[in-house]
Amino acid sequence: MKVLHIVTLHTPDHAFGGPTRVALNLARVQRADGDDARVMALGDDFGGALPREVEGVPVHLFQARHLLPVFEVSGITSGSLLRTAHRMMRGADLVHVHLMRDLVTLPAALLALATRTPLVVQTHGMVDPTRKRVAQLTDLLGVRTVLRRADAVLHLTETERVDVNAVAAPVALTNTVRLVNGVRPQERKPAREPGRPPTVLFLARIQERKRPEDFVAAMPAVLARHPDARFVLAGPDTGSLRRTLALAEELGVTSSLDHVGPLEHEEVLAAARRADVYVLPSIEEPMAVSLLETMSVGTPVVVTRSTGLAPYVAEAGAGRVIDSRVGEDAANAEKVALAVLELLEPEANEKAGKAAWDLVNEQFTIEVVARTLRRTYEDVVRRRA
C-alpha cells in the first residue's frame, strides 16, 4: 500500500513535537511491513539542504515560508509542498493527514477530498472547540468539511472524540476511530546503583502548557532531602525557557539544574535511561510520545490528572498522578515534589518502573498501534473500491 503522511513541520530540534514523531514512527513500521510509506512536511532551521530521509523514512520536505508570522506554526506554508502533494495523491492508495488549523495540513486534506483520494485524518488533540475568531473562521472554511468527509478521523482519547464532534457539529461524526500513540519496545534499564545521585528529568517542549516552571519550583523540596540530586531540563524552547531559568536563579537551584536543550531520538531514550523519575506537569496533555518513550525503558513518571495517559499510569501503578491547576503554582510545585520524593524511594521506584515498562509493552507498542491502523486503512480502501 502506498501511504502518504502529511504533517506540518520537521526541524532539526524536533520543535513541533508529537505529530511529527508519530508520523515518522508509523511510517517506519509501515515500511518494515512492506508498505511504501512516506512523510511530507515543511522543513525549517536546517541551515542548508533539507534531508531526504529521517530515521530511515523517505521524507519530502519543503522550505517553510512564514506567510503569517503572527500565527507562528499555523502561519507557515509552501506552495511547492501543496503542488507536490496534489501530484503524489494521484498515485497514493491513501493519504494520512496529521491535521491542525494551519496552512499545510488543512489545505492538503482538502486536496485529498478534491482528488477523491482515501483520507484518514489524525488531530493529535489539536482540533477542539475554541472561542478564537480566526480558528472559528478556519473551522467554517475547511476543518468541518474535512472532519465530516474524511474516511476516518483518528482520536487518542474519549475527550478528543468529543472535541472533534463538537467542532463538526451539528453533524454527528460516524467516522471516528480510536488510535493511541505507540513507541518501539525497549530493553528495561537496570535499577539505580546504590550511592549514585538521583536524576529527575523534564523532557518536552519548553512552553507554557508543559509547565516547566512547576518542575523547577519543585526542586528545593526535593533537594532538601536529596541535596546531590540532578535535575535535567531537556527539549526545544518554544517560549518558556527564559522564565524557567529565571525561576531557577530566583530559587537558588541553578547549580543543580542541567539545561541540555533539544535531543535527538536516541538521545531521548538515553536521557530516559539515566533518569530515576520523569516529570511532565502539562495541563491538558493528550498523549505525549516522550512520556511513552520514558516509560518504555522502565522509568516511572509524574503526570497531571488532565493528561490523556493519566488513567493508564494510575491503574498500572507506573508512577504518580497529581492534580494540577493553572494559577496555583505553589500548590502544584508541592504536589510535584511529593510525588518525586515518593518515587525516589528504592522500593517504590523499582515497582513503578517495572509497571511502566509492562504498561508500554502490553498496550502502547508501535507494532500494536500499526496493526490497528492497518485494519482502518484496509477498511477505508475497501469501502472506496
55 within domain boundaries? yes
Whether 256 and 223 have beta carbons less than 8 Å apart is answered as: yes
Whether 209 and 284 have beta carbons less than 8 Å apart is answered as: yes
Same structural domain for residues 371 and 352? Answer: no
pLDDT of residue 13: 79
Q: What is the DSSP string of 62-92?
A: EE-EES-GGGGGGGEE-HHHHHHHHHHHTT-
Look-up of cell digits 468527509: 149
Same structural domain for residues 68 and 152? Answer: yes
d(CA 253, CA 257): 7
The amino acid occupying position 48 is G
Look-up of cell digits 497531571: 304
Same structural domain for residues 337 and 356? Answer: yes
d(CA 98, CA 105): 7
- Return averaged pLDDT per consecutive 10 residues of the chain, 385 residues in all: 97 83 94 96 92 95 90 91 96 97 97 97 94 93 97 94 96 94 94 90 93 97 97 93 97 97 91 97 88 97 94 97 83 95 96 98 93 95 89
Q: Which residues contact 322 (CB under 8 A, 6 or more apart)?
A: 281, 302, 303, 304, 305, 332, 335, 336, 339
CATH number of domain containing 205:
3.40.50.2000
Same structural domain for residues 96 and 239? Answer: no
89 within domain boundaries? yes
pLDDT in tens, 27-41: 999 999 999 999 999
CA distances, 221 to each of 61, 121, 339 (Å): 46, 44, 11
Same structural domain for residues 214 and 227? Answer: yes
10 Å CB burial of residue 274 (0-12, 13-18, 19+) is middle
In the chain, the number of structural domains is 2
Same structural domain for residues 129 and 224? Answer: no
Give the number of other Cβ atoms within 10 Å of residue 192's Cβ.
18
Same structural domain for residues 249 and 305? Answer: yes
Same structural domain for residues 153 and 263? Answer: no
212 within domain boundaries? yes
d(CA 139, CA 155): 18
CA distances, 112 to each of 74, 108, 144, 173, 222 (Å): 20, 6, 15, 19, 52
187 within domain boundaries? no
At residue 9, the 3 state secondary structure works out as: strand
pLDDT of residue 325: 78
Same structural domain for residues 173 and 208? Answer: no
Give the number of other Cβ atoms within 10 Å of residue 56's Cβ.
10
CA 341, 342, 347, 352 torsion-angle sign: negative
Same structural domain for residues 240 and 125? Answer: no
pLDDT of residue 380: 96
CA 261, 283, 171, 181 torsion-angle sign: positive
pLDDT of residue 275: 98
Same structural domain for residues 178 and 277? Answer: no
190 within domain boundaries? no
Same structural domain for residues 143 and 164? Answer: yes
pLDDT in tens, 315-352: 999 999 999 877 777 889 999 999 999 999 999 999 99
pLDDT of residue 35: 95
For residue 294, give its domain range.
199-363
84 within domain boundaries? yes
244 within domain boundaries? yes
Look-up of cell digits 535499577: 191
193 within domain boundaries? no
d(CA 7, CA 25): 13
252: which 3 cell numbers? Answer: 537558588
